[in-house]
Amino acid sequence: MENGDKAAVDREWRERYVQAARLVVVKIGSAVLTDENGRLNEDFFARFAAEIAGLMEAGYRFLVVSSGAVAAGRGALGYQQPPATIPEKQACAAVGQVRLMWHYEQGFAAHGRLVGQVLLTGDDIHNRRRYLNARHTILALLRHGVVPIINENDTVVVREIKFGDNDNLAALMTSLAEVDLLILLTDIDGFFREDPKVNPAAERLRVVPEVDDNIESLASFSKSRLGTGGMLSKLQGVKKAAAYGIPTVMANGRRAGVVSRILAGEPEGTLFLPREHCLTCRKHWLAFASNPRGTLVLDAGAVQALQQRGKSLLPSGILEVKGEFGVGDPVLCCDAAGREIARGLAGYSAEEIRRIKGRHSREIEAILGYHSVDEVIHRDNLVLVEPLAGPGAGCR
């Protein structure tokens, strides 16, 4: 495709997906908001706050998912190299989070805007009730014109200091707050076929219709000197957002005015298109944020009914029940070979399903002494592991 054709396609897709966005998640990597010595860059915060405040005056709303706490703490505590132990990383996060928020608060206060700190752990996302509580809090902040500054609570949760944390957290915010666009700000100009820091002539992809195996194979080149993730973690976040019907733009956050240019439809960075057949908010949580409590092993007929006919899971198709869980808990659905097929919310407890597995729904009452529902998992509470892919109109 000639450069003129690529530019025309880029412009068409951005007009369709980006320029209509009004509620935006912006994820900022550590490499964007620190200087060459790993210290927080005061100029970045002042510039970023001024830009976002100006866009808010024009009617946009923003959630900011910010890395940088551990990096900021490292500088304050005098670490020359990344801390070697988890407690040291957590200590850096504890000190750095205060400094990080102070810079955001000062930057936005200069433009009459308030910021609010939202620290989340994996448990806050996995637990449906806490997930909804976080949702209500963030939406209330947005109603008051406050900019939520969201970060994982690295100070107390060991497993949250890991590869790709905030990229994936930002992607989960797309359904939690029902946003229109995800922007990933990094220290390169988008997604390239090669590492542009090694090969300055590397080709930047303007538009990526789908993150498939070929795209993922190109993602091994990048890992930040300060952040916990790399390009692969960003693509994982892109895929989560796409499953909810949300486009993503990956761009260079060190370039002044980059968010404004993205929202104006200019060819900044790389645009990743959303999926045409996308998930509802609840199914998006179930697919990517839930913490399954057990496993149901299905026979071939049940697997086919779920995958090909969009049916509910009935007790007759269940071979085995693993783990202990209650009614309404998330569970995995696997085939006889152990491959995950789907996730869903159980209509019966593990003990009850063990008693009715392999039996017809009409026998439930005779076996249990009561009959709540026919389905072990209703199709409205079930999501396939691999949603249908392909670019198209975003949906909810």
Q: Where in the chain is the domain with CATH 3.40.1160.10?
A: 3-277
Q: Which of 118-127, 204-213, 258-267, 361-370 comes out lowest in average pLDDT? A: 118-127
Q: What is the pLDDT of residue 387?
A: 46
Share of the chain above pLDDT 90, in %: 65
pLDDT average, residue stretch 268-293: 90
Q: Is the pLDDT of residue 227 over 50?
A: no
Q: Residue 169: pLDDT above 80? A: yes
Per-residue pLDDT tens digits for 181-208: 999 999 999 999 888 888 888 899 999 9
The pLDDT of residue 49 is 98
Q: Say which range, 14-28, 76-90, 113-127, 295-309, has the weakest mean pLDDT.
A: 76-90
Q: What is the mean pLDDT of residues 268-289?
A: 90
Top-confidence residue, 81 or 334: 334
Identify the helix (H) or strand (E) that includes residue 77: helix 69-77
* pLDDT tens readout for residues 253-266: 999 999 999 999 99
Please name the amino acid found at residue 17. Y
The C-alpha atoms of residue 55 and residue 259 are separated, in whole angstroms, by 9
Q: Are 390 and 353 in contact (CB under 8 A)?
A: no
Percent of the chain with pLDDT over 70: 91
342 pLDDT exceeds 90?
yes
**Which whole number is the average pLDDT over 275-286?**
88
Token duo for residue 142: 């947005």
Report the candidate in 235, 229, 214, 57 with the shortest Cα–Cα distance to residue 147: 57
> Taking the domain 3-277, which CATH number applies?
3.40.1160.10
Confidence of residue 392 (pLDDT cuts 50, 70, 90): very low
**Residue 308, exposed/middle/buried by CB under 10 A (0-12, 13-18, 19+)?**
exposed
Tally of CB atoms within 10 A around 142: 18
Question: Which is nearest to 13 in space by CA: 247, 216, 275, 253?
Answer: 247
Looking at the DSSP bridge assignments, the partners of residue 183 are 26, 249
Q: Is the pLDDT of residue 373 over 50?
A: yes
**To the nearest 10°, the Cα dihedral for 389, 221, 154, 110?**
-90
* Statement: residue 8 has pLDDT above 90: no
Residue 310 binned pLDDT confidence (cut-offs 50, 70, 90): very high
Please state which CATH number belongs to domain 292-384: 2.30.130.10
Q: What mean pLDDT is reported for the chain? A: 89
> What residue ranges of the chain are covered by domains with CATH 2.30.130.10?
292-384
pLDDT for the residue 3: 60
What confidence category does residue 221 fall into, taking pLDDT thresholds of 50, 70 and 90? low
Contacts of 94 (CB under 8 A, 6+ apart): 73, 155
> Are β-strands 23-28 and 61-66 bridged in parallel, bridged antiparallel, or unpaired?
parallel
pLDDT at 5 over 80: no
Average pLDDT, stretch 288-297? 93
**Sheet order of strands, 340-345 included:** 318-323, 294-298, 330-334, 340-345, 382-384
Q: Looking at beta carbons, which pairs linking 254-261 to residues 24 or more positions away fall under 8 Å? A: 254/32, 254/44, 254/187, 255/189, 256/47, 256/51, 257/51, 258/185, 259/24, 259/26, 259/48, 259/51, 259/52, 259/55, 259/183, 259/185, 260/51, 260/54, 260/55
Q: Give mean pLDDT, residues 230-258.
A: 93
